[in-house]
Amino acid sequence: MRAAILREYGEPLAVRELPDPEPASDGAVVRVDACGVCRSDWHAWSGHGEWADDRVPRGQVLGHEPAGEVVAVGDEVDRFRSGDRVVVPFSLGDGTCPHCRRGAGNVCEDGRALGFEAAAPGAFAERVAVPAADYNLVERPEWLGAPAAAALGCRYMTAYHALAERTTVGGGDALAVHGCGGVGLSAVQIGAALGARVIAVDVDDAALSLARELGADEAVNPESLPQEGSVPGRVRDLTDGGADVSLDALGVAETCRNSVRSLRPRGTHVQVGLTTDAERGEVSLPTDWMTRWEISFLGSRGMPPTSYPDLFALIEATGIDPGGLVARELSLSAVSDRLAAMDEYEGRGVEVVTEF
């Protein structure tokens, strides 16, 4: 099979022939019909994570947002068979530990991150192996095509988990979303579907107009504001005193602090974006101010596979279209260029590999 491999940080991926994977006894092999290109791939490709001893190894097949069709299963797999249409979440659980049993497979202590570690080769490939298939694979509804489903393995479900499960955004809440890349735009669409009034923040007007199409009520471009550092003030003006929930989709110090400062008293910040070389995993925060106003700060990562029925139910009930996030379909050989473009934040919406 063809696969795109991380040879060296910051250099083009190598597209090579590799042997087809075999399913483990509890695993499955999925033919990849679509796989999104994500900022997390850019972090891996850039060699981020060394400060946390968490760098993705050279030789890794990247790609962690697959949708496709099961082509082989191990003999212990009960729930799936060849021909089943599936989504694969990037945060794979073992299905047996106390966290998985409590419905929190996304924080499984023995879990694997698809496409980010040697034990879990990724889905920038014609086929991908999935461990603990009965637990991790998600049946894809008839109405959900593969390109639209690609973001459901990562950005879309991450936004849902952050807004509907880590905190509970509801009707009438004001939600600020800082950073309108793939996960930010997903948060805009899902936040609007949950009934929130959504304020989208981004330095790029094209990203903001996409955010408006996906349901944002207000769009704030920090570069068009009168003085630097005025994003929180603008959000507080637009929300009559502060957002109920504010989400940092980007993971740079400024957007994180802007998000926290955008909140009303007792508001909730949700951190979804991971940091870059500049922060090295840590951001200083206005803790006295957060104490004074009883601000909550939550981390959120991926989504447990067991939450997919709730996410599908929201999509069906509200008629939102995850496919609306897909800005471009690509071939496998184009991935390197799209990763390089993320250095300059050039991408818009979600870009999906559909040709392998």
Residues in the site for Zn ion, rule: CB under 5 A? 38, 40, 93-94, 97, 100, 108, 154
312-315: Cβ within 8 A, 24+ apart: 312/141, 312/144, 314/160, 314/164, 314/190, 314/193, 314/194, 315/193
Closest CB to Zn ion among 38 and 123? Answer: 38
List the structure tokens of 333.
């050989």
Q: How far is the CB of 37 from Zn ion (least distance, A)?
A: 8
Please, which residue, 38 or 130, has the CB nearer to Zn ion? 38
Residues 6+ apart with CB under 8 A from 159: 183, 184, 186, 187, 189, 190, 191, 247, 249, 272
Please state the φ and ψ torsions of residue 108, each to the nearest 5 degrees.
-55, 130
Q: How far is the CB of 66 from Zn ion (least distance, A)?
A: 11
Q: How far apart are CA 141 and CA 143, in angstroms?
A: 5
Q: CA-CA distance, 15 to 32, in Å (whole number)?
A: 15
Query: Cβ of residue 331: shortest distance to Zn ion, in angstroms?
Result: 19
> What is the signed CA dihedral for 101, 102, 108, 112, rounded to 10 degrees?
60
C-alpha angle 121-97-84 in degrees, rounded to nearest 5: 50
139 contact partners, CB below 8 Å, separation of at least 6: 80, 84, 85, 86
Closer residue to Zn ion (CB): 130 or 154: 154
In angstroms, give the least distance from the CB of 218 to Zn ion. 26
Helix then strand count (H, E) for the chain reads 12, 17
Is the CA virtual torsion 185, 187, 190, 193 positive or negative?
Answer: negative
Q: CB of 155: closest distance to Zn ion in angstroms?
A: 5
Q: Minimum distance from CB of 255 to Zn ion (Å)?
A: 18
State which residue, 38 or 250, has the beta carbon closest to Zn ion: 38
Residues 307-317 as b or e (16 or more Cβ within 10 Å = b): bbeebbeebee
Residue 132 or 295: which CB sits closer to Zn ion?
A: 132
Cα–Cα dist 313/20, whole Å = 35
Task: Report in angstroms how near the CB of residue 77 gets to Zn ion at its nearest.
Answer: 17
Q: At 278, which amino acid appears?
A: A
Q: Rank residues 31 and 99 by Cβ distance to Zn ion and give the closer one.
A: 99
> Which one, 186 or 262, has the nearer CB to Zn ion?
186
As a residue count, the chain comes to: 356
Query: Are 270 and 196 contacting, i.e. CB atoms less than 8 angstroms apart?
Result: no
**What region does 166 belong to: left with phi over 0, alpha with psi -120 to 50, or beta?**
alpha
Q: Shortest Cβ distance from residue 82 to Zn ion (Å)? A: 26
CB of 151: closest distance to Zn ion in angstroms?
Answer: 8
Q: What angle do CA 114, 67, 158 make, to 5 degrees?
A: 60
Least CB distance from residue 111 to Zn ion, whole Å?
A: 6
> Looking at beta carbons only, is 38 or 180 nearer to Zn ion?
38
Considering the complex, state which of residue 186 and residue 239 has its C-beta at the smaller distance from Zn ion. 186
Minimum CB distance to Zn ion smaller for 154 or for 198: 154
